[in-house]
Amino acid sequence: MSDEQKRILENSLWAIANLLRGKMNPDDYRDYILGFIFFKYLSEKQNIYVTELLQGENETNFAKVTDNETLEALREECLIKLGYYLEPKELFDAIAEKGNNKIEGESNFILDELQAVLNHIEQSTMGNDSEEDFAALFEDLDLTSTKLGRTVNARNEVIVKIINELHKIDFKLQDLDSDVLGDAYEYLIGKFAALAGKSKGEFYTPKQVSKILAKIVTHGKTKLKSVYDPTCGSGSLLLRVKKEAEISEYYGQELNRTTYNLARMNMILHDIHYRKFDIKNEDTLENPQHLDKRFEAVVANPPFSAHWKGNKNPLNSTDERFAQYGKLAPNTKADYAFVQHMYYQLADNGTMAVVLPHGVLYRGAAENLIRKYLIEEKNALDAVIGLPANIFYGTGIPTCILVLKKCRKADDNIVMIDASGEDHFIKNGNKNELRDPKDENQINDINNIVNAYINREPIDKYCSIVTLDEIKENEYNLNMPRYVDTFPEEVIIDLQKVSEKLIAIDEKLELADTSIAQFCEELNIPKPF
> Tens digit of pLDDT for each residue in 68-109?
999 999 999 999 999 999 999 999 999 999 988 765 556 889
Q: Say whether pLDDT at 491 is over 70.
A: no
Whether the CB-CB separation of 130 and 274 falls below 8 Å is answered with yes
User: Cα(406)–Cα(402) distance, rounded to whole angstroms?
Assistant: 13
pLDDT in tens, 330-342: 999 999 999 999 9
Q: What is the pLDDT of residues 120-168, one digit of tens each?
A: 999 999 999 999 999 999 999 999 999 899 999 999 999 999 999 999 9
Task: Give the lowest-confidence range in 116-130, 165-179, 368-382.
Answer: 165-179
Domain 3-191 bears CATH identifier 1.20.1260.30: yes
Query: Residue 200: is its pLDDT beyond 60?
Result: no
- Taking the whole predicted model, whether its pTM rises above 0.85 is answered as yes
Kindly report, residue by residue over 19-61, the tens digit of the pLDDT.
888 778 777 888 899 999 999 999 999 999 999 999 988 888 9
Can you tell me the distance from the alpha carbon of 433 to that of 214, in angstroms, rounded to the nearest whole number? 17
What residue spans in the chain does CATH classification 1.20.1260.30 cover? 3-191
Packing angle between helix 26-53 and helix 68-81, nearest 10 degrees? 120
**Statement: residue 172 has pLDDT above 50:** yes
Average per-residue pLDDT in the chain? 90
Number of Cβ atoms within 10 Å of the Cβ of 353: 27
Domain 197-482 architecture: 3-Layer(aba) Sandwich (3.40)
Lowest mean pLDDT among 197-206, 235-244, 397-406: 197-206
Largest CA distance in the chain: 120
Q: Provide the pLDDT confidence category of residue 178 given band limits of 50, 70 and 90.
A: low
DSSP, collapsed to helix, strand or coil, labels residue 455 as helix
Delimiting residues of CATH 3.40.50.150 domain(s) in the chain:
197-482
What's the rounded Cα separation, in Å, for the pair 404 and 453?
12
Percent of the chain scored above 70 by pLDDT? Answer: 95
Q: Report the C-alpha gap between 400 and 420 in whole angstroms.
A: 9
Query: In the chain, what percentage of residues exceed pLDDT 90?
Result: 68
- pLDDT for res 504: 85
As a whole number of Å, the end-to-end CA separation of the chain is 79
Q: Judging by DSSP bridges, how do beta strands 246-253 and 277-280 pair with one another? A: parallel
**pLDDT confidence of residue 103:** 57
pLDDT band of residue 199 (cuts 50, 70, 90) is: very low
Tell me, what's the pLDDT at 197? 60
Where helices occur in 197-223 by DSSP H, the ranges are: 207-217
